[in-house]
Structure 1
């Protein structure tokens, strides 16, 4: 279960904002959630309770307590998974598009975590019950490789390696339009969009985020890209590409959803796939190097966009475009990202 969160907000010069709006923005919750927190006494203004309609004044100190969500038992489900690596310490799943990674309001079943628990294998507890061994995440409609720890020791060591940029994660993406050059680095902070809490955005003061892009091919209306994550913020690749005017094709949230027929993409699918994962095994120290070829829907889309029909049945079209060839790769003995 998630832990209780607290935050303190000091009202700046631009006073006069409603309390519920201030709390929603400052605590990263919806306006409805903010109003509930206020009504339940979890918000104090200068040490006393106030109404949601209270107009804040310059210098007001607003203390907010966000209780953990109510517990909900994770229901084991017998959902087939594509396991590409497994031992007693960890496993790597090739997640399909359309599968939510962990339970949350609106998605309490059918998630990857439900499927993992349903296998009956031990899972690390370090990430919390609802995370069940997850070391990192993928968006619902992003497919590809994802690491799960079976023991707390493996979870701790993998999380440390991830934070130290010793886990190499490379994605394939197709974006609308053409980059100005064959390489691009976007180094912009990411946080919740203050105007829409369901989205992420480039926000001054947000969490540091850097993505390196390499153009592998240029087609009539799109570029085929390899994306290298130096951080792992929510929706990072999608937000960074959208911020430079080249959203991921099929991405309805960040401006790339148009032209599905042109891209031969199914509904609610964007062209983003976690194709390559390299890291040192947290216990043995051996290098784990795993690749996930494009799934059939993205192979068909790439064949259509490139006007190369044979790619639809190619075993791994990424090889054709040199996705796995790069002089920037670290030696196996190092396995650091820079």
Structure 2
């Protein structure tokens, strides 16, 4: 059994795996490369070779194998639903919750909670990722949009591709950033030394992060960030790259850091155009309590 995805290219050009991975934000480039090798990517009913160069107006059909290794069940987990209607929902994911099931996290994920709390979810991303248009890391808290049907999913995914989605994060980083604003433009790909990590690498996917300083402490800086792209671990990788890693980050940050439940990173603002009404929607979610308490302690100059 397979799930079929159809994608028409407008103006993008380049390697087929790169172009399709930019379009299909819920799947990794390595997964798309595997589909190409398995003959699951078709163009004019012909299997696409891995070295094919995409041209405008190409219409691809992708046969996504059904993921049967996991039995994804609805779980009555607490879920903060900020908004929902017949087309979509916006949820505030808590820190520590994985977005979708995997072999390491077969249940207790956001998807398990969505299956319990929502009546319908889009099917574009298969049984493991129903409704999931984009992701945030397990230990990142904040807002995610969820598609209830395939039409809404396609619209929201296209907005991500067109970079019209407003995504604003709040982060606490090590060090004292002297300048008030900055933009990080550096390609991101899998690390050559640790396959579980991402890094700034030549030939990686384009990635752009904007940041603004909100507040300075002796050894830390509170910043606001906006994403133009949505690469895996993008903010964590980019801030480490410029020398200001996220506080609490167990992977990209220093060992001596602030106590918490992972990186101090919160997706606090999300804006997009409603797929049906065309209305511009914007949602906000407050910082988690551990984040607020840490800022209060820093303001009091408590020695961590």
Q: TM-score, normalised by structure 1?
A: 0.69
Alignment of 1:68-107 (within 5 A): 71-107=69-105
Stretch moving more, 293-302 or 67-76: 67-76
Q: State the distance in 2 between where 1:119 and 1:280 align.
A: 24
| Larger Rg, first or second structure (1 or 2) | 1
Q: Which residue number in structure 1 is paired with residue 292 of structure 2?
A: 299
The question of 1:270 aligning with 2:256 is answered no
Name the counterpart of 1:38. Answer: none
SS in 2 for 1:274: strand
Map 1:146-185 onto structure 2 (within 5 A). Answer: 146-185=144-183
Summarize the alignment of residues 28-177 of structure 1 with structure 2, pairs less than 5 Å apart. 71-119=69-117, 121-177=119-175
Q: 1:155 to 1:68 in 2, by over 3 A?
A: closer
The answer for unaligned runs of 5 or more in structure 2 is 4-14, 16-28, 32-37, 39-49, 52-64
1:237 is aligned to 235
Cα distance in 2, alignment partners of residues 82 and 229 from structure 1: 23
Specify every segment of 5 or more residues in structure 1 that has no aligned partner in the other structure, as ranges.
8-26, 30-41, 43-61, 310-338
Greater RCO, 1 or 2 (C-alpha within 8 Å, sep 6+): 2
Q: Distance in 2 between matches of 1:83 and 1:223?
A: 30
Bigger strand fraction:
2
What is the CA deviation profile of residues 292-323 of structure 1, one whole-angstrom value per residue up to 9, with x for unaligned ones?
Answer: 111111000111122289xxxxxxxxxxxxxx
Give the C-alpha shift of residue 2 in structure 1: 8.8
Question: For 1:79-136, what per-residue CA distance to the aligned partner results, in whole angstroms no more than 9, with x for missing partners?
Answer: 1200000000000000000000000111001000011112251100012211111111
Give the aligned CA root-mean-square deviation in angstroms: 2.7
Q: Distance in 2 between matches of 1:198 and 1:165?
A: 27
Structure 2 length as normaliser, TM-score?
A: 0.77
Matches within 5 A, 1:244-323: 244-260=242-258, 265-266=259-260, 268-307=261-300
CA distance in 1, matches of 2:68, 2:288: 37
Whole-angstrom CA distance in 2 between matches of 1:100 and 1:2: 25
Q: Residue 241 of structure 1: SS of its match in structure 2?
A: helix
**DSSP 3-state at the match of 2:197:** strand
